[in-house]
């Protein structure tokens, strides 16, 4: 069985079920399909409504101005941090805690921390910023 969305000459839309396309064509030709609303036998299949998308442009997509600004900002932020902050790597949370408790002199540090460590830092009331850095090699696995 096959379902067609049909429309009569008066613009009524309805659905018709047929054995196959040939059966539909035969019935349509012989005026056997009648509109359930006005009984008109001049019916046609409503052109299917699937969307047509223009072929994608081959040119690489340009980033939006916002994306460009964000990228530039991130780069500046990263440059600044790299120049002015000690890289403590995975020791970030440890170092931050040491400073927090006066075990070491306060200084600017940067590094990576796990979600657990971030939670600890937050619980200790230690403020830190997260900025998107080029992803370090994943050592979790």
Q: Which is nearer to Zn ion, 3 or 103 (CB)?
A: 3
Distance CA 92, CA 114 (A): 9
* Residue nearest Zn ion, Cβ-based: 35
Q: What's the full length of the chain, in residues?
A: 141
Minimum distance from residue 5 beta carbon to Zn ion (Å): 13
Q: Which is nearer to Zn ion, 38 or 70 (CB)?
A: 38
Beta bridge partners of 2: 18
Query: Rounded to whole angstroms, what are the CA distances from 140 to 90, 113, 116?
Result: 12, 11, 13
**Number of neighbours of residue 44 by Cβ within 10 angstroms:** 13
Minimum distance from residue 69 beta carbon to Zn ion (Å): 57
Residues forming contacts to Zn ion in the complex (CB under 5 A) are 8, 10, 12, 35, 37-38, 40
Minimum distance from residue 10 beta carbon to Zn ion (Å): 4
């Amino acid at each position: 069985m096959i379902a067609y969305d049909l429309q009569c000459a008066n613009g009524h839309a309805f659905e018709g079920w047929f054995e196959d396309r040939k059966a539909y064509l035969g019935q349509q030709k012989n005026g056997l399909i009648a509109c359930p609303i006005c009984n008109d036998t001049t019916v046609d299949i409503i052109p299917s409504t699937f969307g047509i998308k223009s072929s994608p442009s081959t040119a690489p997509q340009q980033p939006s101005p916002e994306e460009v600004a964000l990228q530039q900002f991130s780069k500046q932020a990263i440059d600044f941090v790299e120049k002015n902050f000690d890289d403590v790597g995975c020791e970030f949370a440890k170092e931050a805690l040491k400073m927090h408790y006066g075990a070491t002199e306060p200084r600017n540090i940067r590094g990576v921390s796990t979600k657990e460590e971030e939670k600890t830092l937050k619980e200790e009331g230690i403020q830190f910023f997260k900025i998107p850095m080029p992803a370090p090699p994943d050592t979790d696995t």
